[in-house]
Structure 1
């Protein structure tokens, strides 16, 4: 997948993709991998963050709007509104923390209730495989959950980059292979790209985006 830093180009399709999952599973680290191929250690996201990424796949120029969402329970009502218009949803858990895997059924139910498109492409991602010695959830368990819910599945490490690019690439290719998701995918929208600690307007309502460095991911 080839990226282009300019967001002012013409494009064939635009896709909204959101990252969801419990707090501290590494969603923000994956977000930075997807948008800048870098690793940053952060504390839990407050509100949401979004970046635009222009890529070319299958000879199509795509405008990706990648959204990172808060995982804390107090933000669940807020986060549910961001499913609207998402063509791809990446649900993340931490392979070293079983409770984040146990919580997946709640997130899956939320997707079912809140997503706009019945054919929305969903991917389950087990993050932090660089901590293999601390693994608490087997790959087979992740595969079985994904198969049961009809999700794509990959394990990765946002820290080392292992399989991180593949997660986004496979999701986008699957969207491109789903005709029902392409019907309105060339329509412009008015979402603004947020910056750290600055408000982003969603339906004319400001939502605070805040990033801070921390010791963990």
Structure 2
């Protein structure tokens, strides 16, 4: 359901996150499934960057998630690198049926660590898990990589709506945990007369795109 500006004013946080990965791995369909519960078989490659919003309740806090869908094509890499600025989380997506997209995860991780913040929450997502007969990347192999790199991990199917919401909630819940810790530290620093930055405030007058409500009831299962 679409809410008005008065609902916006009640949000406690604005969290920016990015979807990254090679072209054709299903990033746009993951976002449309999460934000509008839609899936398009004829989805076209993203040009530049697109984004959507969704309101999510985590505990007693209402969070506006601003998700940026970045183009995976090499020629847009210089454009999209600037969009890591201010991002608190990322879904790093590969296609379980295309080994090359998994092999390129290392390149995307390098980009995240070069342009993103040091405490960015990253969820490694193996999409198109419904295509089991065409699989080229095993789940265990991806789990091992995620553990080695300190990432969360989940396999999804945008087509069958499998683990799509869960992967986004995993990221957002973890971001909330980190933000809460920072907020508590900031309060301690204030007591010691040390200035510290507060959590990102919700901007006034931002256009609303694809807003809905979900409740994050799941505990973090793969992030420690």
With the length of structure 2 as denominator, give the TM-score of the two structures: 0.80
Unmatched runs of 5 consecutive residues or more in structure 1: 196-217
Larger radius of gyration: 2
1:6 maps to: 3
Measured after TM superposition, the shift of residue 38 of structure 1 is: 1.6
Large movers: runs of 4+ above 6 Å: none
Q: Is the 8 A contact 1:32 1:39 kept in 2?
A: yes
Provide the secondary structure at the position in 1 that maps to 2:15. Answer: strand
Give me the whole-angstrom Cα distance separating, in 2, the residues matched to 1:129 and 1:102: 17
Provide the secondary structure at the position in 2 that maps to 1:146. Answer: helix
Measured after TM superposition, the shift of residue 185 of structure 1 is: 3.1
Provide the secondary structure at the position in 2 that maps to 1:129. Answer: coil
The answer on 1:70 being equivalent to 2:71 is yes
2:102 maps to: 101
Provide the secondary structure at the position in 1 that maps to 2:48. Answer: strand
Measured after TM superposition, the shift of residue 193 of structure 1 is: 4.9
Name the CA shift for 1:111/1:191 in 2 (closer, same or farther; >3 Å).
farther
2:61 maps to: 60
Give me the whole-angstrom Cα distance separating, in 2, the residues matched to 1:194 and 1:114: 27
With the length of structure 1 as denominator, give the TM-score of the two structures: 0.82
Per-residue CA deviation, residues 27-74 of structure 1 (Å, 9 max, x unaligned), is 000010121122123121011111121121212111110110100000
Give me the whole-angstrom Cα distance separating, in 2, the residues matched to 1:186 and 1:159: 33
2:221 maps to: none
Per-residue CA deviation, residues 71-107 of structure 1 (Å, 9 max, x unaligned), is 0000000011100111111000000000000111000
The answer on 1:33 being equivalent to 2:30 is no
Measured after TM superposition, the shift of residue 186 of structure 1 is: 4.0
Q: Is the 8 A contact 2:53 2:208 kept in 1?
A: no
Name the CA shift for 1:188/1:31 in 2 (closer, same or farther; >3 Å).
same
Per-residue CA deviation, residues 122-151 of structure 1 (Å, 9 max, x unaligned), is 100000001001000000111111111111
2:160 maps to: 160
Name the CA shift for 1:180/1:70 in 2 (closer, same or farther; >3 Å).
farther
Name the CA shift for 1:90/1:6 in 2 (closer, same or farther; >3 Å).
same
CA RMSD of aligned residues (A): 1.9
Aligned to 2:202, which of 188, 209, 212?
Answer: 188
Tell me the matched-pair count: 191
Give me the whole-angstrom Cα distance separating, in 2, the residues matched to 1:130 and 1:49: 26
1:47 maps to: 48
Q: Which has the larger share of strand?
A: 1
Name the CA shift for 1:123/1:191 in 2 (closer, same or farther; >3 Å).
farther
1:145 maps to: 145
